[in-house]
Amino acid sequence: MIRFSWLLIGLWLGLVVPLGLGLTGCASYIPDKEIAIAEAAVEAARGARADSYAPRLFQQAQESLRLAKRAHQEREFGVAKEYAVDARVQAERAENFAVLQRERGDE
């Protein structure tokens, strides 16, 4: 009987506890890196004058970044990551459009 109990405890400690810790770690991922990249992308778009050449895209990027930061503060990390990625994509599109317009001589 004692041997059986130790076997269950060993199984619990060896398999169940690490699995539970692994799942918990995945659920609490904090997207700080994604938000920082989105912030840098928005600043790069601003530097390319996307606010003038691609105002709609630039505003979408800013809004997604604002929502990412708010979701992060509310500890909704999955939502924060989605908004941060969207902000980066929109900022990159805005920057590319602005650079293209300037190269075409639309200054």
DSSP labels for 11-29? HIIIIIHHHHHHHHHHHT-
pLDDT the model gives residue 1? 47
Residue 21, pLDDT above cutoff 90: no
Q: Output the CA–CA distances (angstroms, integers) from residue 37 to 69, 71, 79, 106, in the order listed.
A: 12, 16, 16, 29
Residue 3, pLDDT above cutoff 60: no
User: Residue 24: which pLDDT band, with cuts at 50, 70 and 90?
Assistant: very low
Q: What is the pTM of this model?
A: 0.72
Question: Nearest 5 degrees, angle CA 89-CA 94-CA 97?
Answer: 125
Task: Give the whole-number percent of the chain exceeding pLDDT 90.
Answer: 67
